[in-house]
């Protein structure tokens, strides 16, 4: 019989606690002893917002600690020999990390890290059309992006430009 380390169990409890506490508090509020309609409405709201939207993804997060990734749209993933580089950020608002997340499927934390640590490679091995779509969306969101190809000295696979 294998034993589960205490640290893993405590980490799983820490990840599950906000939702479990929300559902428990919401359930308690829906059954007030006096019968207050306001408390019941607040309890129903708290319970509903605490329930996971995708239970299997939530359970996988609780057990493993890895946040689920969303798959990028098919128009952003056509294979090819291009890459998209984020060179600068004009406006580090909420839109830029969301655009990076939408185009690549990374988590919001990873997308924010890419936006804060420029220059960064957003996506690689894309077709010219997919790379242009990613670049256009990133630039509309406040970034300065460049599409490079494998033969281009700016491409990360080729190393720094000679000169």
DSSP for 82-99, please give it. EEEEEEEES--SSHHHHH
Is the model more confident about 25 or about 140?
A: 140
Q: What is the mean pLDDT of the chain?
A: 77
pLDDT(158) > 60: no
Could you tell me the CA-to-CA distances from 56 to 9, 23, 24, 52, 60 in Å, in that order?
Answer: 18, 17, 20, 9, 6
For position 147, what pLDDT does the model report? 92
For position 2, what pLDDT does the model report? 64
Q: Give the contacts of 84 (CB within 8 A, at least 6 positions apart).
A: 103, 121, 122, 123, 124, 126, 131, 134, 135, 138, 145, 146, 147, 148
For position 8, what pLDDT does the model report? 73
Query: Which residues lie across from 126 on neighbouring strands?
Result: 79
Q: Hey, CA dihedral for 75, 77, 83, 86, is it positive or negative?
A: positive
pLDDT(162) > 70: no
In this structure, are residues 77 and 50 in contact, taking their beta carbons and an 8 Å threshold?
Answer: no
In this structure, are residues 86 and 118 in contact, taking their beta carbons and an 8 Å threshold?
Answer: yes
pLDDT(11) > 50: yes
Distance in Å from the first CA to the final CA of the chain: 62
In this structure, are residues 87 and 121 in contact, taking their beta carbons and an 8 Å threshold?
Answer: no
Q: How far is CA 124 from the centre of its chain?
A: 18
pLDDT(131) > 60: yes
161 band by pLDDT with thresholds 50, 70 and 90: very low
pLDDT tens digits along 57-83: 777 777 777 766 677 777 777 888 889
What mean pLDDT do residues 9-38 have?
A: 73
Going by C-alpha positions, the residue among 140, 107, 138 that lies closest to residue 121 is 138
């Amino acid at each position: 019989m294998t034993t589960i380390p205490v640290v893993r169990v405590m980490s799983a409890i820490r990840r599950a606690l906000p939702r479990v506490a929300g559902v428990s508090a919401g359930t308690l509020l829906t059954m007030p002893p006096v019968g207050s309609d306001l408390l019941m409405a607040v309890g129903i709201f708290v319970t509903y917002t605490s329930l996971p939207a995708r239970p299997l993804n939530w359970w996988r997060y609780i057990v493993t600690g890895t946040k689920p990734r969303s798959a990028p749209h098919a128009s952003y993933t056509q294979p090819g020999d291009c890459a998209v580089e984020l060179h600068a950020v004009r406006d580090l608002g909420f839109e830029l990390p969301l655009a990076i997340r939408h185009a690549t499927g990374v988590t919001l934390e990873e997308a924010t890290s890419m936006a804060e640590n420029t220059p960064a490679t957003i996506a690689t091995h894309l077709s010219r059309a997919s790379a242009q779509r990613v670049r256009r969306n990133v630039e509309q969101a406040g970034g300065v992006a460049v599409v490079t190809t494998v033969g281009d000295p700016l491409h990360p696979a080729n190393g720094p430009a000679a000169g």
